[in-house]
Amino acid sequence: MSMAVIREIAKTDYVQWLPLWDGYGDFYGRTGPAALSDEITATTWARFFDEMEPVHALVAELDGQLVGLTHYLFHRSTTAIEPVCYLQDLFTSADARGKGVGRALVEAVYDRAKEAGATRVYWQTHETNQAAQSLYERIAEKSGFIVYRKLI
């Protein structure tokens, strides 16, 4: 099997990106009333191509097909002068799992973060996502923080 190519997303990728985006939502139970609206999907897509937005996207391509995506953003922090990178979304198609695609996507975000002068990349995953945690524990360290949220 050939290696996936990690690259910046292109406007022509929408048709292949959308099923990955939807698959990511399905993986985390965003179906039915919990599904993301078409407006959120369209806005997210547009942000990738707006130079004024801090939101970015990379895709993994294998034999002309997109098999993975990652979305990340830069923001300020009260604990650093440099920007911080939040890796918000990471998803690979079922066929690509266990083949190094997720790792390659995360490492590509590391590279983009370094280029931007960021000193930290962080992310979260659901406590039930053991496969992802197995990867993450090899390429990063657990921060020990627990995420709380309140929908308002």
What is the residue-level pLDDT of the chain in tens, covering all 152 positions?
578 999 999 999 999 999 999 999 888 887 666 678 899 999 999 999 999 999 999 999 999 999 999 999 999 999 999 999 999 999 999 999 989 999 999 999 999 999 999 999 999 999 999 999 999 999 999 999 988 989 88
H or E element in which residue 55 lies: strand 55-62
Domain 5-139 coded CATH 3.40.630.30: yes
Q: Are 35 and 51 in contact (CB under 8 A)?
A: no
Q: Are 90 and 106 in contact (CB under 8 A)?
A: yes
Rounded-to-integer distance, Cα 115 and Cα 51, Å: 16
Please report the pLDDT score of residue 33 as a whole number.
64
Please report the pLDDT score of residue 65 as a whole number.
96
| Segments making up each domain of the chain, as ranges | 5-139
CA atoms 97, 99, 102, 105: torsion sign? negative
Please report the pLDDT score of residue 34 as a whole number.
61
Q: What are the structure tokens assigned to 6, written together?
A: 């990690």
Tallying the residues shown for the chain, one arrives at 152
pTM for this model (two decimals) = 0.93
3-state SS, 71-88, equals: EEEEEEECCEEEEEEEEE
